[in-house]
Amino acid sequence: MAAYTPSALKAELNERGWRMTPQRETMLKTFQNLPEGTHLSAEDLCDQLDKEGEPISLSTIYRNLKLMARMGILRELELAEGQKRYEINQPAPHHHHHLICVRCNKTIEFKNDSVLKVGAKTADRSGYHILDCQLLIHGICPTCQRSIVPI
Amino acid sequence: MAAYTPSALKAELNERGWRMTPQRETMLKTFQNLPEGTHLSAEDLCDQLDKEGEPISLSTIYRNLKLMARMGILRELELAEGQKRYEINQPAPHHHHHLICVRCNKTIEFKNDSVLKVGAKTADRSGYHILDCQLLIHGICPTCQRSIVPI
DNA sequence: GCAGTCTTCGGAGTCATTCTCAATAACAAA
DNA sequence: TTTGTTATTGAGAATGACTCCGAAGACTGC
Ligand SMILES: [Mn+2]
Ligand SMILES: [Mn+2]
Ligand SMILES: [Zn+2]
Ligand SMILES: [Zn+2]
Protein backbone atom coordinates (compact mmCIF):
# COMPACT_ATOMS: atom_id res chain seq x y z
CA MET A 1 0.00 0.00 0.00
CA ALA A 2 2.84 2.42 -0.82
CA ALA A 3 3.63 4.52 -3.92
CA TYR A 4 6.36 3.04 -6.10
CA THR A 5 9.17 4.60 -8.11
CA PRO A 6 10.70 2.57 -10.95
CA SER A 7 13.86 2.05 -8.90
CA ALA A 8 11.88 0.98 -5.84
CA LEU A 9 10.10 -1.53 -8.03
CA LYS A 10 13.42 -2.78 -9.39
CA ALA A 11 14.81 -3.14 -5.88
CA GLU A 12 11.85 -5.13 -4.68
CA LEU A 13 11.88 -7.34 -7.76
CA ASN A 14 15.60 -8.08 -7.49
CA GLU A 15 15.23 -8.82 -3.79
CA ARG A 16 12.98 -11.72 -4.77
CA GLY A 17 15.24 -12.92 -7.59
CA TRP A 18 13.08 -11.30 -10.26
CA ARG A 19 14.02 -8.74 -12.88
CA MET A 20 13.13 -5.24 -13.90
CA THR A 21 12.08 -4.95 -17.53
CA PRO A 22 11.08 -2.06 -19.78
CA GLN A 23 7.60 -3.59 -19.98
CA ARG A 24 7.18 -3.54 -16.20
CA GLU A 25 8.38 0.05 -15.96
CA THR A 26 6.04 1.11 -18.76
CA MET A 27 3.08 -0.54 -17.04
CA LEU A 28 3.90 1.09 -13.69
CA LYS A 29 4.25 4.55 -15.23
CA THR A 30 1.06 4.12 -17.24
CA PHE A 31 -0.99 3.32 -14.15
CA GLN A 32 0.61 6.12 -12.17
CA ASN A 33 -0.28 8.69 -14.83
CA LEU A 34 -3.88 7.58 -15.27
CA PRO A 35 -6.59 10.08 -14.26
CA GLU A 36 -8.36 9.19 -11.00
CA GLY A 37 -11.31 6.90 -11.42
CA THR A 38 -9.83 5.01 -14.37
CA HIS A 39 -10.07 1.23 -14.16
CA LEU A 40 -8.24 -0.59 -16.93
CA SER A 41 -8.74 -4.13 -18.10
CA ALA A 42 -5.84 -6.08 -19.63
CA GLU A 43 -7.15 -5.36 -23.10
CA ASP A 44 -7.73 -1.69 -22.32
CA LEU A 45 -4.10 -1.38 -21.26
CA CYS A 46 -2.89 -3.27 -24.33
CA ASP A 47 -4.86 -0.98 -26.64
CA GLN A 48 -3.70 2.16 -24.88
CA LEU A 49 -0.04 1.15 -25.04
CA ASP A 50 -0.44 0.33 -28.72
CA LYS A 51 -1.76 3.82 -29.40
CA GLU A 52 1.06 5.40 -27.41
CA GLY A 53 3.62 3.52 -29.49
CA GLU A 54 4.86 1.36 -26.62
CA PRO A 55 3.18 -1.95 -27.41
CA ILE A 56 3.41 -4.86 -24.95
CA SER A 57 2.08 -8.31 -25.74
CA LEU A 58 -1.17 -9.31 -24.11
CA SER A 59 0.38 -12.32 -22.34
CA THR A 60 3.01 -10.10 -20.78
CA ILE A 61 0.36 -7.68 -19.67
CA TYR A 62 -1.69 -10.42 -18.03
CA ARG A 63 1.41 -11.84 -16.34
CA ASN A 64 2.57 -8.51 -14.95
CA LEU A 65 -0.88 -7.30 -13.90
CA LYS A 66 -1.16 -10.35 -11.67
CA LEU A 67 2.41 -9.95 -10.42
CA MET A 68 1.96 -6.29 -9.56
CA ALA A 69 -1.37 -6.96 -7.88
CA ARG A 70 0.21 -9.64 -5.70
CA MET A 71 3.00 -7.24 -4.80
CA GLY A 72 0.38 -4.72 -3.68
CA ILE A 73 1.28 -2.18 -6.39
CA LEU A 74 -1.99 -2.56 -8.24
CA ARG A 75 -5.46 -3.40 -6.99
CA GLU A 76 -7.51 -5.99 -8.82
CA LEU A 77 -11.16 -5.02 -9.10
CA GLU A 78 -14.20 -7.03 -10.14
CA LEU A 79 -16.46 -4.11 -11.04
CA ALA A 80 -18.21 -5.05 -14.25
CA GLU A 81 -19.05 -8.51 -15.44
CA GLY A 82 -16.61 -10.75 -17.18
CA GLN A 83 -13.26 -9.11 -16.74
CA LYS A 84 -10.93 -7.88 -14.05
CA ARG A 85 -9.91 -4.25 -13.92
CA TYR A 86 -6.89 -2.67 -12.34
CA GLU A 87 -5.88 0.65 -10.81
CA ILE A 88 -2.85 1.88 -8.91
CA ASN A 89 -2.96 1.07 -5.20
CA GLN A 90 -2.60 4.43 -3.46
CA PRO A 91 -1.99 4.96 0.25
CA ALA A 92 -4.32 6.66 2.70
CA PRO A 93 -5.19 10.10 1.31
CA HIS A 94 -5.98 8.75 -2.16
CA HIS A 95 -7.23 5.30 -1.15
CA HIS A 96 -10.90 4.75 -1.99
CA HIS A 97 -13.73 2.27 -2.27
CA HIS A 98 -16.41 1.52 -4.89
CA LEU A 99 -20.19 1.67 -5.12
CA ILE A 100 -21.48 -0.17 -8.19
CA CYS A 101 -24.85 -0.51 -9.91
CA VAL A 102 -25.41 -4.18 -10.73
CA ARG A 103 -27.56 -3.26 -13.73
CA CYS A 104 -25.62 -0.57 -15.61
CA ASN A 105 -22.23 -0.88 -13.84
CA LYS A 106 -22.17 2.85 -13.02
CA THR A 107 -19.42 3.11 -10.44
CA ILE A 108 -18.92 5.75 -7.76
CA GLU A 109 -15.66 6.02 -5.83
CA PHE A 110 -15.69 7.16 -2.22
CA LYS A 111 -13.17 7.51 0.58
CA ASN A 112 -13.50 6.31 4.14
CA ASP A 113 -10.63 6.18 6.59
CA SER A 114 -12.50 4.26 9.29
CA VAL A 115 -13.06 1.36 6.90
CA LEU A 116 -9.38 1.45 6.07
CA LYS A 117 -8.59 1.24 9.78
CA VAL A 118 -10.93 -1.71 10.28
CA GLY A 119 -9.16 -3.43 7.40
CA ALA A 120 -5.70 -2.83 8.83
CA LYS A 121 -6.74 -3.94 12.30
CA THR A 122 -8.47 -7.09 11.04
CA ALA A 123 -5.53 -8.14 8.89
CA ASP A 124 -3.15 -7.48 11.75
CA ARG A 125 -5.19 -9.46 14.25
CA SER A 126 -4.91 -12.54 12.01
CA GLY A 127 -1.25 -11.95 11.23
CA TYR A 128 -1.92 -11.17 7.57
CA HIS A 129 0.42 -8.82 5.69
CA ILE A 130 -2.20 -6.54 4.11
CA LEU A 131 -2.02 -5.80 0.38
CA ASP A 132 -5.38 -4.19 -0.34
CA CYS A 133 -8.57 -3.25 1.44
CA GLN A 134 -11.67 -2.46 -0.55
CA LEU A 135 -15.27 -1.95 0.47
CA LEU A 136 -17.52 -3.12 -2.35
CA ILE A 137 -21.10 -1.96 -2.32
CA HIS A 138 -23.49 -3.41 -4.86
CA GLY A 139 -26.83 -1.78 -5.46
CA ILE A 140 -29.18 -0.28 -8.00
CA CYS A 141 -28.54 3.30 -9.07
CA PRO A 142 -31.31 5.92 -9.16
CA THR A 143 -31.58 5.79 -12.95
CA CYS A 144 -31.95 2.01 -13.04
CA GLN A 145 -34.51 2.10 -10.22
CA ARG A 146 -36.69 4.28 -12.44
CA SER A 147 -36.12 2.25 -15.60
CA ILE A 148 -38.68 -0.36 -16.65
CA VAL A 149 -35.99 -2.75 -17.85
CA PRO A 150 -35.99 -5.86 -15.65
CA ILE A 151 -33.14 -7.53 -13.74
CA MET B 1 -30.48 -7.77 2.56
CA ALA B 2 -33.41 -9.66 4.12
CA ALA B 3 -34.02 -13.38 4.77
CA TYR B 4 -36.32 -14.98 2.23
CA THR B 5 -39.04 -17.62 2.54
CA PRO B 6 -40.05 -19.53 -0.59
CA SER B 7 -43.37 -17.66 -0.70
CA ALA B 8 -41.64 -14.29 -0.28
CA LEU B 9 -39.41 -15.22 -3.20
CA LYS B 10 -42.44 -16.20 -5.28
CA ALA B 11 -44.18 -12.94 -4.44
CA GLU B 12 -41.18 -10.86 -5.44
CA LEU B 13 -40.66 -12.83 -8.65
CA ASN B 14 -44.31 -12.54 -9.71
CA GLU B 15 -44.29 -8.85 -8.95
CA ARG B 16 -41.70 -8.49 -11.70
CA GLY B 17 -43.50 -10.77 -14.14
CA TRP B 18 -41.22 -13.70 -13.39
CA ARG B 19 -42.08 -17.17 -12.14
CA MET B 20 -41.37 -19.35 -9.20
CA THR B 21 -39.99 -22.75 -10.15
CA PRO B 22 -39.02 -25.90 -8.22
CA GLN B 23 -35.43 -25.25 -9.26
CA ARG B 24 -35.42 -21.77 -7.73
CA GLU B 25 -36.96 -23.02 -4.51
CA THR B 26 -34.43 -25.85 -4.29
CA MET B 27 -31.54 -23.43 -4.78
CA LEU B 28 -32.86 -21.04 -2.14
CA LYS B 29 -33.34 -23.82 0.42
CA THR B 30 -29.94 -25.29 -0.32
CA PHE B 31 -28.17 -21.99 0.36
CA GLN B 32 -30.22 -21.35 3.48
CA ASN B 33 -29.26 -24.73 4.94
CA LEU B 34 -25.55 -24.46 4.21
CA PRO B 35 -23.20 -24.31 7.22
CA GLU B 36 -21.72 -20.85 7.84
CA GLY B 37 -18.52 -20.15 5.95
CA THR B 38 -19.52 -22.22 2.93
CA HIS B 39 -18.96 -20.56 -0.43
CA LEU B 40 -20.32 -22.53 -3.36
CA SER B 41 -19.40 -22.22 -7.02
CA ALA B 42 -21.94 -23.07 -9.72
CA GLU B 43 -20.33 -26.48 -10.20
CA ASP B 44 -20.17 -27.12 -6.46
CA LEU B 45 -23.89 -26.53 -6.23
CA CYS B 46 -24.60 -28.69 -9.28
CA ASP B 47 -22.60 -31.58 -7.80
CA GLN B 48 -24.22 -31.25 -4.39
CA LEU B 49 -27.73 -31.24 -5.85
CA ASP B 50 -26.87 -34.30 -7.94
CA LYS B 51 -25.80 -36.17 -4.81
CA GLU B 52 -28.95 -35.12 -2.98
CA GLY B 53 -31.08 -36.50 -5.81
CA GLU B 54 -32.43 -33.10 -6.89
CA PRO B 55 -30.38 -32.42 -10.01
CA ILE B 56 -30.63 -29.07 -11.75
CA SER B 57 -28.92 -28.36 -15.05
CA LEU B 58 -25.79 -26.27 -14.94
CA SER B 59 -27.25 -23.61 -17.24
CA THR B 60 -30.23 -23.17 -14.97
CA ILE B 61 -27.94 -22.91 -11.97
CA TYR B 62 -25.86 -20.20 -13.63
CA ARG B 63 -28.98 -18.35 -14.69
CA ASN B 64 -30.56 -18.41 -11.25
CA LEU B 65 -27.38 -17.67 -9.32
CA LYS B 66 -27.07 -14.43 -11.21
CA LEU B 67 -30.77 -13.68 -10.84
CA MET B 68 -30.74 -14.27 -7.09
CA ALA B 69 -27.58 -12.24 -6.66
CA ARG B 70 -29.17 -9.31 -8.48
CA MET B 71 -32.23 -9.60 -6.29
CA GLY B 72 -29.99 -9.36 -3.22
CA ILE B 73 -30.79 -12.90 -2.03
CA LEU B 74 -27.30 -14.22 -2.69
CA ARG B 75 -23.94 -12.50 -2.58
CA GLU B 76 -21.48 -13.04 -5.37
CA LEU B 77 -17.91 -13.42 -4.13
CA GLU B 78 -14.63 -13.36 -6.00
CA LEU B 79 -12.52 -15.10 -3.39
CA ALA B 80 -10.30 -17.56 -5.23
CA GLU B 81 -9.10 -17.26 -8.79
CA GLY B 82 -11.13 -18.33 -11.77
CA GLN B 83 -14.65 -18.79 -10.51
CA LYS B 84 -17.34 -16.93 -8.66
CA ARG B 85 -18.69 -18.25 -5.39
CA TYR B 86 -21.99 -17.61 -3.73
CA GLU B 87 -23.45 -17.55 -0.25
CA ILE B 88 -26.77 -16.48 1.23
CA ASN B 89 -27.01 -12.76 1.93
CA GLN B 90 -27.84 -12.52 5.63
CA PRO B 91 -28.93 -9.37 7.45
CA ALA B 92 -27.04 -7.63 10.24
CA PRO B 93 -26.29 -10.17 12.97
CA HIS B 94 -25.00 -12.76 10.48
CA HIS B 95 -23.59 -10.41 7.87
CA HIS B 96 -19.83 -10.68 7.48
CA HIS B 97 -16.78 -9.77 5.44
CA HIS B 98 -13.75 -11.65 4.08
CA LEU B 99 -9.99 -11.61 4.59
CA ILE B 100 -8.18 -13.60 1.88
CA CYS B 101 -4.63 -14.78 1.33
CA VAL B 102 -3.66 -14.02 -2.28
CA ARG B 103 -1.23 -16.96 -2.32
CA CYS B 104 -3.16 -19.89 -0.81
CA ASN B 105 -6.69 -18.42 -0.83
CA LYS B 106 -7.16 -19.15 2.89
CA THR B 107 -10.21 -17.12 3.80
CA ILE B 108 -11.26 -15.73 7.17
CA GLU B 109 -14.73 -14.34 7.77
CA PHE B 110 -15.23 -11.48 10.18
CA LYS B 111 -18.07 -9.25 11.27
CA ASN B 112 -18.11 -5.48 11.58
CA ASP B 113 -21.21 -3.40 12.02
CA SER B 114 -19.54 -0.03 11.52
CA VAL B 115 -18.48 -1.04 8.02
CA LEU B 116 -22.03 -2.10 7.33
CA LYS B 117 -23.23 1.31 8.48
CA VAL B 118 -20.72 3.09 6.23
CA GLY B 119 -22.00 0.99 3.36
CA ALA B 120 -25.65 1.79 4.02
CA LYS B 121 -24.94 5.48 4.45
CA THR B 122 -22.82 5.71 1.30
CA ALA B 123 -25.38 3.91 -0.85
CA ASP B 124 -28.14 6.10 0.56
CA ARG B 125 -26.25 9.33 -0.05
CA SER B 126 -26.02 8.45 -3.77
CA GLY B 127 -29.58 7.21 -3.97
CA TYR B 128 -28.57 3.61 -4.58
CA HIS B 129 -30.83 0.80 -3.42
CA ILE B 130 -28.26 -1.35 -1.61
CA LEU B 131 -28.03 -5.07 -2.37
CA ASP B 132 -24.74 -6.11 -0.77
CA CYS B 133 -21.90 -4.58 1.18
CA GLN B 134 -18.64 -6.49 1.51
CA LEU B 135 -15.26 -5.46 2.80
CA LEU B 136 -12.61 -7.39 0.91
CA ILE B 137 -9.15 -7.54 2.43
CA HIS B 138 -6.36 -9.13 0.41
CA GLY B 139 -3.11 -10.02 2.10
CA ILE B 140 -0.56 -12.74 2.77
CA CYS B 141 -1.37 -15.17 5.57
CA PRO B 142 1.20 -16.07 8.27
CA THR B 143 1.94 -19.46 6.72
CA CYS B 144 2.61 -18.03 3.27
CA GLN B 145 4.78 -15.25 4.75
CA ARG B 146 7.06 -17.96 6.13
CA SER B 147 7.04 -20.08 2.97
CA ILE B 148 9.91 -19.78 0.48
CA VAL B 149 7.56 -20.13 -2.50
CA PRO B 150 7.53 -16.86 -4.45
CA ILE B 151 4.61 -14.71 -5.63
C1' DG C 1 31.99 -10.28 -21.07
C1' DC C 2 29.60 -14.61 -19.74
C1' DA C 3 26.66 -17.96 -17.80
C1' DG C 4 22.46 -18.71 -15.88
C1' DT C 5 17.81 -18.10 -15.86
C1' DC C 6 14.02 -14.88 -15.82
C1' DT C 7 11.09 -12.67 -19.18
C1' DT C 8 8.89 -11.73 -23.47
C1' DC C 9 6.05 -12.82 -27.47
C1' DG C 10 2.63 -15.03 -30.26
C1' DG C 11 -0.13 -18.61 -30.80
C1' DA C 12 -2.47 -22.62 -29.11
C1' DG C 13 -5.21 -24.30 -25.36
C1' DT C 14 -8.34 -24.12 -21.27
C1' DC C 15 -12.50 -23.70 -18.97
C1' DA C 16 -15.97 -20.76 -16.56
C1' DT C 17 -19.81 -18.72 -18.25
C1' DT C 18 -23.21 -17.48 -21.75
C1' DC C 19 -26.02 -18.45 -25.69
C1' DT C 20 -29.41 -21.08 -28.52
C1' DC C 21 -33.61 -23.22 -29.19
C1' DA C 22 -37.01 -26.73 -28.80
C1' DA C 23 -39.72 -28.62 -25.12
C1' DT C 24 -41.88 -27.74 -20.78
C1' DA C 25 -44.60 -25.63 -17.31
C1' DA C 26 -45.98 -21.34 -14.40
C1' DC C 27 -49.29 -17.90 -14.36
C1' DA C 28 -53.45 -15.29 -15.31
C1' DA C 29 -57.72 -14.86 -17.34
C1' DA C 30 -61.84 -16.81 -18.72
C1' DT D 1 -60.69 -26.18 -14.70
C1' DT D 2 -59.22 -25.15 -19.08
C1' DT D 3 -56.53 -22.52 -22.06
C1' DG D 4 -53.30 -19.18 -24.07
C1' DT D 5 -49.30 -16.78 -23.27
C1' DT D 6 -44.73 -16.69 -22.39
C1' DA D 7 -41.07 -17.35 -18.81
C1' DT D 8 -38.10 -21.15 -17.85
C1' DT D 9 -35.59 -25.34 -18.36
C1' DG D 10 -32.03 -28.54 -20.20
C1' DA D 11 -28.37 -30.07 -23.33
C1' DG D 12 -25.08 -28.84 -26.09
C1' DA D 13 -22.62 -25.40 -28.80
C1' DA D 14 -20.26 -21.08 -28.62
C1' DT D 15 -17.74 -17.40 -26.46
C1' DG D 16 -13.94 -15.11 -24.62
C1' DA D 17 -11.02 -13.92 -20.67
C1' DC D 18 -7.16 -15.85 -19.25
C1' DT D 19 -3.28 -19.28 -19.06
C1' DC D 20 0.16 -22.20 -20.96
C1' DC D 21 4.04 -23.33 -24.09
C1' DG D 22 8.46 -23.11 -26.30
C1' DA D 23 11.86 -20.60 -28.61
C1' DA D 24 14.20 -16.23 -28.70
C1' DG D 25 15.71 -12.33 -26.13
C1' DA D 26 17.61 -9.71 -22.17
C1' DC D 27 18.57 -8.71 -17.01
C1' DT D 28 21.90 -9.75 -13.09
C1' DG D 29 25.64 -11.18 -10.59
C1' DC D 30 30.10 -12.75 -11.03
MN1 LIG E 1 -11.17 3.13 -8.28
MN1 LIG F 1 -18.67 -15.79 3.64
ZN1 LIG G 1 -27.66 1.65 -12.93
ZN1 LIG H 1 -1.62 -18.13 2.47
> pLDDT tens digits for chain A (151 residues)?
456 899 999 999 999 999 999 999 999 999 999 999 999 999 999 999 999 999 999 999 999 999 999 999 999 999 977 899 999 999 888 999 999 999 999 999 999 999 999 999 999 999 999 999 999 999 999 999 988 655 6
Q: What is the mean pLDDT of residues B48-76?
A: 97
Contacts of B142 in chain A (CB under 8 A): 126-128
| Nearest residue on chain B to A130, alpha-carbon basis | B139
| B8-51: pLDDT as tens digits | 999 999 999 999 999 999 999 999 999 999 999 999 999 999 99
Q: What is the mean pLDDT of chain B?
A: 94
Q: Where in chain A is the domain with CATH 3.30.1490.190?
A: 92-151
- What's the gap in Å between A132 CA and the centre of ligand 1? 12
**pLDDT > 70: what percent of chain B?**
95
The C-alpha R_g of chain B, in whole angstroms, comes to 17
CB within 8 Å of B138: residues ≥ 6 apart? A76, A130, A131, A132, A133, B100, B102
Query: Residue A2: is it exposed, middle or buried by C-beta count within 10 angstroms (0-12/13-18/19+)?
Result: exposed
Give distance in angstroms: CA of B56 to centre of ligand 1.
Answer: 38
Residue B89 has pLDDT above 90, yes or no: yes
Q: A74 and chain B: CB distance < 8 Å anywhere?
A: no
Q: Tell which of B75, B112, B128 to mutate to test the A interface (max A CBs under 10 Å).
A: B128
Level-2 CATH architecture, domain B92-151: 2-Layer Sandwich (3.30)
Residue B1 confidence (pLDDT): 46
Strands A129-140 and A97-101: parallel
Nearest-nucleotide field for A150 (CA, C1') = D7
Q: Where in chain A is the domain with CATH 1.10.10.10?
A: 1-91
Dihedrals phi, psi of A121, to nearest 5 degrees: -65, -45
B5 touching chain A per CB within 8 A: no
Topology annotation, domain B1-91: Arc Repressor Mutant, subunit A (1.10.10)
Q: Is A136 on the interface with B (CB under 8 A)?
A: yes
